[in-house]
Structure 1
C-alpha cells in the first residue's frame, strides 16, 4: 500500500523548509508569490493532504465547531445546521453536529469526552436544564445557544420570541372564529415548548377563553407518530376542538394524518396550525399553515456569534423575526 506523503516530502519537493510549507498551508505568515507557487505545485504533485489533528496539535486550533443537537430526525434542526455550516465553511471551519437526543442519565458520563474533543467552540440547541454542567464539561470552550437559552445568562444566544409567535398563531385561529382550540406540545424541558404554551394561554385569556386542560396534549417528543397519538386523544374528548395548534410542523402533520384517517376533513371539520415551516409543510396536502422560523438564519447567526467569540468579541443576544405562513390547513 502506498504511504501518504509527509510535509517533509513536500518541503523537499518544493526546495523550502517545513516551516515555509506550514506557513503556506495555514496562512500564518506571508510568503513570496514564487515560493507559494512552488509549495502549491509540490502539494499537487504529491497529492498531499493536511492532517487536521496534527495541525490542531501544532496551532492549538482544530478549525472544528461542535453543534449539540437534540434530534437528527427533526427537519427543523437540519435547516439550522445548513445555515451554520455555510457560515462555518466560509470562515474555514468544519461544523460537526452531534445528536444528544439520548444524553440522559448514564449517557451523560460520556459527554465530557465529546465536549472535550478537538473542537474550538460549541453551538448548543439542547435543553438548558443542566447548562452549567455541560459548559463545565466543555472545559471553557466558547459557547453559544441557539433557540434554547437561559434568560438572564451571560451566554450569547440567538432565538425568536416563541411566546409572541404562539400568541400570534392562536390569535389567528381565534380571529377565524375558533373557540375550542387544542394544543399539542412536545418536551417541556425545552424553553421553546414552555414559552409557546405561555403564548397559547395568553391568547386564549386575552380573548376571554379559559384554557381547557383536556385540550392540551404533552407528547414528550416531536415525531409524526406523537402528533397522531395526540390528535387521537383530542378526538376522544367529549367536546373536541375545532382547531389545533401544534408546537412543531411534524406534530401538526401527524395530527392531520390522524384526523384524515378518522374521517375529519382539514380544515373543514378541524383546522390545524403548525410551527417552524420546515420544507415538507409546503408540499404536504393540505398545505400546512404554520409559524415560520428563520431556521437557516438562526444557524447562520449562531455560527457568526461563535466565530465572534473566537475572535475575542462579545456578541449581544439576537432575537430574529417570525411570521405566519398561510396555506390550506386553516
Structure 2
C-alpha cells in the first residue's frame, strides 16, 4: 500500500531556507521588515516545497474570523467597485477575505438589519462607506474595529480615509471661472450627506476666490447622486428663464444624466452649457462628449482604508484622518463661455 505523502509544513520551509520558523512567518505576514536576501530565500523555499498557509488554522489560533466587512450604499453604483478592489488587494496579501453588505437593502438605520453583522463573530473589522448610518450601530461592546472611508458619519469616533472633496469642487469652479463662466449652477448630492457638505463648501470657496457672487436659490439644485436625478435637474434647468452657462455636479453619474437631459432638450454640451462632474468613474471618459471631472484615486483610497483597519486590528495607533489629493481631468464637456 502506497504511503500518502504528508503536505509540506512551515518547518520544511524553514529547514530548506536555512532560517527559523519565526522568520518564515514574518516573510509571509510582513515581508517589508525582512532583509531582501532572506525574503528571497524563504520565498524560493515556499515555491519549492509547495507550502501554503492554512488560513483557517491560523485564524482559530488568533481567535479571528479571517474576514473584513465593508458597508456600501447601493452596491450597483460603479463608483464603489474600484474602492472595494483596493481594499481586497490589501486584504488578500494578509490572507483575509472581504465581505460586502449593501446598506441600501431595507432600512439603513435599523439595528436588526445591519447591527447583527457588526460583531467579532462575523468579521475582524469594518470599513464603512455609508455616511447615512447611525453612529450608535458601531458603539456596541462586541463591535470590531471600524474605519470610515469616502463618506463619514457625524458623531462616530473612528479613523477616516477621505478624498479632498472641498479642494476638488474648488478646482472645478476655478476651471469654469477660468473659461469665463460667471453663471455657474451647482447640482449637489443629498442635503445631509457628508460629501455634499464638503463639496458645497469647496464650491463656495471657489466662487469667492473667482470673485463671483452667486447666491440665488435657482443656482443650486439638490440631487441624490443618481443618473435619474441628473436627468431631472436638466428638465429644471431647461425651464429656467435664464439658463446658467455651466454646471458643476457633485458626482459623475448626475453629470452624465444631466448631459443626456440637456441634449434631449436641444442644448449642446459644451457649446451652450459646460458640465463638470466629480469622481472620474470609468464611463466618464466614454460619454458624448467625454466628461471633464475631478479624479479621486479610489483604489488608493480603498488600500489606505484597509491598511488603517489592519493597523487597528493589530492594536496599533494610526492617523485619525487621512486626506488624499484629487486632480482636475479636462475633457470635452467644458469650453469657453460662448459670450
TM-score by length of 2: 0.79
Could you tell me which runs of 5 or more consecutive residues in structure 1 were left unpaired when the two chains were aligned: 1-11
Q: Distance in 2 between matches of 1:100 and 1:66?
A: 12
Contact 1:182/1:234 (8 A) holds in 2: no
In structure 2, which of residues 258, 274, 297 is the aligned counterpart of residue 294 of structure 1? Answer: 297
Greater Cα shift, 118-127 or 194-203: 194-203
Matched, 1:237 2:240: yes
2:220 to 216, 220, 226: 216
After superposition, the Cα gap between the structure-2 partners of 1:58 and 1:118, relative to the gap in structure 1 and judged at 3 Å, is farther
User: Per-residue deviation at 1:226?
Assistant: 1.3
TM-fit CA distance, 1:115: 1.5
Structure 1 Cα separation of the partners of residues 105 and 192 of structure 2: 14
3-state SS of 1:272 partner: strand
Point out 4+ residue stretches in structure 1 off by more than 6 angstroms: 20-24
- Distance of aligned partners of 1:114 and 1:151 in 2 relative to their CA distance in 1, 3 Å threshold: closer
Q: How many residues get paired? A: 301
Residues 26-66 of structure 1 show CA distances to partners (whole Å, capped at 9, x for unaligned) of xxx94999xx99xx89x99xxxx9795x8755641111011
Task: Kindly indicate whether the alpha-carbon contact (under 8 Å) linking 2:67 and 2:97 is maintained by their aligned counterparts in 1.
Answer: yes
In 2, Cα distance between equivalents of 1:103 and 1:126: 14
2:107/2:113 contact within 8 Å kept: no
How far apart, CA to CA, are the structure 2 residues paired with 1:98 and 1:88? Answer: 17
Structure 2 residue runs of 5 or longer lacking an equivalent are 13-19, 25-41, 335-339
Secondary structure of the 1:159 match is strand
Q: 1:201, 1:211 within 8 Å by CA — same for their partners in 2?
A: no
Structure 2 counterpart of 1:281, from 277, 281, 284: 284
Q: Secondary structure of 1:276's match?
A: coil
**Larger deviation, residues 278-287 vs 106-115:** 106-115
- The residue correspondences of 1:184-223 to structure 2 (distance < 5 A) are 184-206=187-209, 207-219=211-223, 221-223=224-226
1:188 Cα offset (Å): 2.8
- Counterpart of 1:275 in 2: which secondary structure? coil
2:185 is matched with 182
1:74-223 alignment to 2 at 5 Å? 74-102=77-105, 104=107, 107-116=110-119, 117-127=121-131, 130-131=134-135, 133-137=136-140, 139-149=142-152, 154-206=157-209, 207-219=211-223, 221-223=224-226
8 Å Cα contact 1:84/1:303 also seen in 2:
yes
TM-score if structure 1 supplies the norm length? Answer: 0.81
1:305 and 1:106 map into 2 onto residues whose CA distance is 25
Q: 1:75 to 1:15 in 2, by over 3 A?
A: closer
Counterpart CA distance in 2 for 1:318 and 1:245 is 25
